[in-house]
């Protein structure tokens, strides 16, 4: 088959005139630090996910790091306490647990959704377990109801790592509204794209205040933004000035700028159109690739959960007679970009830290060995979708498999 002369990527930067006009407004006003765009983006994003408080930071990883740190401080966790974490996720999920002096304890995943398997959780709980980090992978919610029941039973906190999933619902409630703190990413190739960026959301005022401080070097919350000293009484201004340069905890520089917030707000206002296109593209690919279901496990989600399709995950089935590596290289050779489905336990640094854990997690190992994803983002044309399908079929035809 004829090869296209450009790469069909797993994600896109979807920049319209709206994004450009908002960014130009920021530049024209010469206000780059946290300001009206950031505040509006935080409020609208948090509200869309059932939360009172939202904090826009430099990345989803930054959001996760301050989420874990805030819970550790507020709840009095000690170094070495444990947080349950899925055995298939992006490395940042468990990295932030380690970097906060805690121990990640891995839990195998469901073989259809690839999210943490609630049936596997209780056997990993010990007296040191303090929280469950639930990750909503690839654009769909994890099965929250049984996990929340377990969390209540053992008095565990829930961190919702929803960096890959936004705006969709589980049993009628939006992702991000279930955890004590939920975290999202707006990095390149995600659902909303600001270049760099992430959000931490919560309904707990104490957690929100600690996270805001942590993201700003551990600063006293009395002064976090350049507007905080405006229009105050003389008494209040004196109080603020006396504490304006106080740092009350060890923190980070995880701030984002008004330019990223402007991009985020513009995309937030277009979110329904973005998600509709992704779902349509994913549905088209699922329908066209159905003849290959004997060999490939295509995306699936239960009726009680929606899917935002940040990407299009595929796993080569057992006893299919094909090798993932061969299929992936065929796609790459024809300029269809692929990514591994977030292998974690087999990463060199994790093998160094924890030894060879893979065999304890059979579903995760199967996904690691056989899973990959391609793009289904909103900028793909029908011609490009048909090309992707043709490349898949060419692989199987060339091996006389079908």
Given this model, what pLDDT does residue 130 score?
98
Q: List pLDDT tens digits, range 312-328.
A: 999 999 989 999 999 99
Secondary structure (H, E, C), 205-252 = HHHHHHHHHHHECCECCCCCCCCCCCCCCHHHHHHHHHHCCCECCCCC
Distance from C-alpha of 374 to C-alpha of 359, rounded to nearest angstrom: 27
Domains of the chain: 17-268 (3.40.640.10), 271-398 (3.90.1150.10)
Average pLDDT over residues 166-181: 98
Going from the C-alpha of 50 to that of each of 169, 183, 192, 205, the distances in angstroms are 11, 13, 18, 14
List the end-to-end C-alpha distance of the chain, in Å, as a whole number: 17
- Please state, as a whole number, how many other Cβ atoms lie within 10 Å of the Cβ of residue 239: 13
Identify the CA nearest to 264 among candidates 212, 203, 187.
187
Confidence label for 189 from pLDDT (cuts 50, 70 and 90): confident
For every residue of 11-51, DSSP letters joined together read ------HHHHHHHHHHHHHT--SS-HHHHHHHHHHHHHTT-
Distance from C-alpha of 93 to C-alpha of 91, rounded to nearest angstrom: 5
Q: List pLDDT tens digits, range 340-384.
A: 999 999 999 999 999 999 999 999 999 999 999 999 999 999 999
Given this model, what pLDDT does residue 398 score?
84
Going from the C-alpha of 312 to that of each of 136, 337, 361, the distances in angstroms are 14, 12, 23
Q: List pLDDT tens digits, range 32-85.
A: 999 999 999 999 999 999 999 999 999 999 999 999 999 999 999 999 999 999
Count Cα neighbours of 367 within 13 Å in the Cβ-side half-sphere. Answer: 28
| Two tokens, residue 275 | 């998600």
Distance from C-alpha of 295 to C-alpha of 216, rounded to nearest angstrom: 50
Count Cα neighbours of 190 within 13 Å in the Cβ-side half-sphere. Answer: 25
Helix extents (H) in 271-381: 271-289, 324-333, 348-354, 362-370
Given this model, what pLDDT does residue 402 score?
60
Given this model, what pLDDT does residue 152 score?
98
Average pLDDT over residues 126-138: 98
Residues of the chain above pLDDT 70, percent: 100
Given this model, what pLDDT does residue 224 score?
86
Give the contacts of 90 (CB within 8 A, at least 6 positions apart).
135, 163, 164, 342, 344
Q: To the nearest whole number, what is the mean pLDDT of the chain?
A: 96
Distance from C-alpha of 369 to C-alpha of 316, rounded to nearest angstrom: 9
Distance from C-alpha of 371 to C-alpha of 210, rounded to nearest angstrom: 38
Given this model, what pLDDT does residue 399 score?
78
Q: Which residue has 């509204």 as its token pair?
A: 177
Q: What is the pTM of this model?
A: 0.96
Distance from C-alpha of 210 to C-alpha of 174, rounded to nearest angstrom: 24
Q: List pLDDT tens digits, range 251-294.
A: 999 999 999 999 999 999 999 999 999 999 999 999 999 999 99
Model confidence at 400: pLDDT above 80: no
Model confidence at 401: pLDDT above 80: no
Phi, psi angle pair for 289, to nearest 5°: -95, 0
- Please state, as a whole number, how many other Cβ atoms lie within 10 Å of the Cβ of residue 363: 17
What does R_g of the chain's alpha carbons equal in angstroms?
Answer: 22
Given this model, what pLDDT does residue 155 score?
98
């Amino acid at each position: 088959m004829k090869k296209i002369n450009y790469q069909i990527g797993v994600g896109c930067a979807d920049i319209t005139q709206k994004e450009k006009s908002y960014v130009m407004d920021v530049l024209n006003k010469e206000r780059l630090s946290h300001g009206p765009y950031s505040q509006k983006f935080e409020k609208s994003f948090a509200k869309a996910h059932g939360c009172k408080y939202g904090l826009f930071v430099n990345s989803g990883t930054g959001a996760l790091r301050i989420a874990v740190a805030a819970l550790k401080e507020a709840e009095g966790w000690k170094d070495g306490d444990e947080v349950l974490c899925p055995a298939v996720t992006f490395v940042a999920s468990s990295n932030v647990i380690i970097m906060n002096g805690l121990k990640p304890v891995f839990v195998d995943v469901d073989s259809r959704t690839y999210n943490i398997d609630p049936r596997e959780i209780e056997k990993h709980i010990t007296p040191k377990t303090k929280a469950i980090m639930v990750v909503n992978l690839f654009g769909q919610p994890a099965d929250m109801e049984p996990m929340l029941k377990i969390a209540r039973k053992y008095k565990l906190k829930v961190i919702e790592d929803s960096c890959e999933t936004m705006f969709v619902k589980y049993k009628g409630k939006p992702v991000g509204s279930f955890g004590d703190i939920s975290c999202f990413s707006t990095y390149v190739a995600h659902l909303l794209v600001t270049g760099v960026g992430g959000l931490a959301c919560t309904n707990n005022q104490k957690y929100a205040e600690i996270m805001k401080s942590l993201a700003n070097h551990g600063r006293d919350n009395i002064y976090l933004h350049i507007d905080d000293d405006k229009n105050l009484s003389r008494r209040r201004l004196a109080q603020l000035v006396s504490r304006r340069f106080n740092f009350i905890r060890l923190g980070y520089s995880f701030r984002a700028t008004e330019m990223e917030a402007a991009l985020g707000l513009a995309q937030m206002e277009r979110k329904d159109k973005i998600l509709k296109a992704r779902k349509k593209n994913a549905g088209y690919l699922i329908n066209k690739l159905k003849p290959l279901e004997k060999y490939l496990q295509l995306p699936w989600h239960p009726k009680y959960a929606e899917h935002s399709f940040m990407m299009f995950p595929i796993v080569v089935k057992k006893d299919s007679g094909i090798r993932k590596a061969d299929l992936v290289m065929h796609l790459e050779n024809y300029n269809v970009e692929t990514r591994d489905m977030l292998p974690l336990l087999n990463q060199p640094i994790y093998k160094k830290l924890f030894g060879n854990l893979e065999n304890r997690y059979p579903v995760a190992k199967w996904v690691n060995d056989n899973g990959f994803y391609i793009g289904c983002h909103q900028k793909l044309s029908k011609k490009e979708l048909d090309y992707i399908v043709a490349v898949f079929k060419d692989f199987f035809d060339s091996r006389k498999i079908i």
